[in-house]
Structure 1
């Protein structure tokens, strides 16, 4: 009886905390200009934690994989499934190990090659990433996740022309997808910022009601930070969805500040994007890469300043 009472209290407390936090956050902003908002406290969500179901599934699969009578096909499927659960709770090294073992038993798994390509991109192993995405597309030519991820890998691998060619093809397959338009803008901005801005603005002016177009407006400066965060807070009272939308909003806002050279703001926003533990979102994954790029840029700048003047 006591355990049930404690459980009910914890459940009530979590619900009350989320509701109170949303009410407080909705009123914590003040707008200093038409486009720039200074937040007393940034809108937040409770960081996601592994669910009981995820933990139980990992334990169940681990136990089943100890059986010696499993066929290679079944063992490969179980390793893939457990790897997905590991990935969803942020245990990426364990996920990568399971995916690699699964491929050794069944190499014809395009989804695994795609995930490994993302891991290689995060680690800066770009040649391995390109090979993994190529393998995905050989096995599944219509895998649009691999198309997008290969373009992003080329972008982070400092191959902007190839990245733009890849993302342009990816975008043309679905011009109404705001996230394709966003990455088209990000990648093209390395080569021609003005043209990239004009192109995204044209697409944005024809937008529908998808959430991603709010992010596009935020990147363009057409949607204020206050308006964007109000859209997030008013759209849901579900903490998981709130964490997902805030992860996206902070990542793309951080990218905007980074492109404007305001690195301190970008660093803070990328850290916020990471803080919600939405491990499966590319915005969470690539925020780490962006932080690494900024830190490398700052290190190089300090080294140049430290060199004696001739």
Structure 2
């Protein structure tokens, strides 16, 4: 859902073999698909050479070039985004904080800091960060999404739904916006949420693979059919990992709602195995795991450096 860094395609022969296996998969529609199946096991994405090189170049410029405060802030922010995309959250947070100190009106940096507070369980600090982002950029729709998610995990469903609705209205033909609005609405009324989901489904592009996720929640396709759809029009391991990251997260949420926490946990762990760190689904899979296991979300990395 968030911005993607380009990566070189790897092992095309392996992808052909993968698709051949996919074509033979069958199963009972009413039973959860087995996560042990070879085609369902994600290959963790490796950090690309381009990302490593970009981080090195940004670091060299920051340390050697004569820059204005605004230029430095932008470079710290850019490097923070790079760190975040490879899962180096503490380094990313430090850069976002530096960027804000140099340029206090950098809304995107506040949005990222809010995300990091949310995944670490510091909800009040997350709300402050998202509020700052929206005060600076009222049309920052992803700040609405992320504030809605923070409110959702902080057990404030009525407020969360307001933000999810705002996020949805900006682009009603986006399947992911439909899904997050639905997830927020189910905390208030599962029946009403499902009815609205079916209405919103009619506005989605049937050729968009992500529409299958909404169709599954609407009861139009089975879990097996949804998993099989991952193979549609694949272009390489990058897209495969991204789709698996998404499909496992939303299947985990569904199993959790159906009172199958063990299956939900298995799927959340498969989300993490993709290494698609910058996707919203990967970010919050750890939050879901902690919630299911009754753990407290805290992160000592948020102690002031």
TM range (shorter): 0.7 to 0.9
Superposition misfits of 4+ residues, deviation over 6 angstroms: none
Alignment root-mean-square deviation, CA? 2.0
Aligned to 2:176: 179
Give deviations 1:16-66, integer Å, cap 9, x for gaps: 223323322442x33223x44533605234211111111111111222222
Counterparts of 1:173 and 1:12, CA distance in 2: 33
Work out which of the residue numbers 273, 285, 288 in structure 2 matches 1:287: 285
Q: Secondary structure at the match of 1:211?
A: coil
Give deviations 1:114-165, integer Å, cap 9, x for gaps: 1111111101111111111111111111111001111111001111111122
Unmatched 5+ residue regions in structure 2? 1-7, 296-305
2:191 is equivalent to residue 194 of structure 1: yes
TM-score (norm 2): 0.87
Normalized per residue, the structure richer in helix is 1
Unmatched 5+ residue regions in structure 1? 1-10, 298-310
2:77 is equivalent to residue 107 of structure 1: no
2:137 is equivalent to residue 152 of structure 1: no
2:33 is equivalent to residue 38 of structure 1: yes
Q: Please state how far the C-alpha of 1:72 moved relative to its aligned partner.
A: 1.5
Aligned to 2:160: 163
Work out which of the residue numbers 227, 230, 247 in structure 2 matches 1:232: 230
Q: Secondary structure at the match of 2:33?
A: strand
Pick which of 123-132 and 200-209 moved more: 200-209
Counterparts of 1:118 and 1:55, CA distance in 2: 23
Q: How does 1:254-265 map to 2 (within 5 A)?
A: 254-265=252-263
Change (3 A) 1:97 1:214: same
2:71 is equivalent to residue 53 of structure 1: no
Q: Please state how far the C-alpha of 1:13 moved relative to its aligned partner.
A: 8.2
Aligned to 1:253: 251
Pick which of 213-222 and 14-23 moved more: 14-23
Counterparts of 2:95 and 2:64, CA distance in 1: 16
- How many residues align? The count is 285
Q: Please state how far the C-alpha of 1:234 moved relative to its aligned partner.
A: 2.3
Change (3 A) 1:76 1:38: closer
Pick which of 167-176 and 49-58 moved more: 167-176
Aligned to 1:21: 18
- Highest relative contact order (Cα 8 Å, sep 6+), 1 or 2? 2
Q: Please state how far the C-alpha of 1:238 moved relative to its aligned partner.
A: 1.2
Counterparts of 2:19 and 2:245, CA distance in 1: 16
Q: Secondary structure at the match of 1:107?
A: coil
Aligned to 1:220: 218
TM-score (norm 1): 0.86
Q: Please state how far the C-alpha of 1:80 moved relative to its aligned partner.
A: 1.0
Change (3 A) 1:12 1:55: closer
